[in-house]
A and B are shown apart, each in its own frame.
Chain A
Amino acid sequence: DAGITQSPRYKITETGRQVTLMCHQTWSHSYMFWYRQDLGHGLRLIYYSAAADITDKGEVPDGYVVSRSKTENFPLTLESATRSQTSVYFCASSEGVSQPQHFGDGTRLSIL
């Protein structure tokens, strides 16, 4: 089945640690996105990518790093995790940047 897979589903780590969240899609979509979802804020775009090696900042990029060496993968790295980055992270993909997006089921990240 075509789809989008995020791993891990749950992660607990400590402040200052590096954490990488994985996202893999089998739709062959050009665009991939990372969002965080917090109560009271809704979905906030962190980074997005139009193709391999092309990435753009979203609304809240500080503290995050992305890479896209292969079209199907779009990992998100927190280089030095902070408590304010505790959130649910969603990856999404679409054919075009303004086309409907398909979402993964999220990674619930807790930073202690």
Chain B
Amino acid sequence: QKEVEQDPGPLSVPEGAIVSLNCTYSNSAFQYFMWYRQYSRKGPELLMYTYSSGNKEDGRFTAQVDKSSKYISLFIRDSQPSDSATYLCAMTPSNSGNTPLVFGKGTRLSVIA
């Protein structure tokens, strides 16, 4: 079993829809969670960074962590065609640890106008 699982998609939604992107993980030591957005032919860019459980909101984006289920989500409200990209989750046990981030494989999202 991979440490981090992420449905590759593609996920296609109409403009204005609420999008839910998810990752599951197996290592209960993970405490810091990130979401990256990667546009075509570009590098990933950090979108959200959260610690432990709970929600974090930034504009139309909400990151949610459920440590009991080992499950993280990224919600996008009022999705726009400009949100079309690949979304990668990443996680680590500690922000001062000695091991690199573990990335999911990414979910490709298309928002259709």
Contact = CB atoms under 8 A, between A and B. Distances in A.
Interface of A: 4, 33, 40-43, 45, 48, 58, 90, 92, 96-106, 108
A110 to B, nearest CB: 14
B95 A96 contact: yes
**Chain B residues touching A, majority SS:** loop
Nearest to B43: A103
B100 A58 contact: yes
Nearest to B32: A98
Contacts, number: 58
B101 A42 contact: no
Interface of B: 6, 8, 32, 34, 41-46, 49, 88, 92-101, 103-106
Contacts of A100: 34, 46, 49, 101
A4 B43 CA distance: 10
A40 B8 CA distance: 8
A33 B98 CA distance: 14
12 contacts: A4-B43, A40-B8, A40-B105, A42-B106, A98-B92, A98-B95, A98-B100, A99-B95, A100-B101, A101-B46, A101-B101, A104-B43
8 A-B pairs with the lowest CB-CB distances in the bound complex, closest first = A42-B105, A103-B43, A98-B92, A98-B97, A43-B103, A105-B43, A100-B46, A103-B44
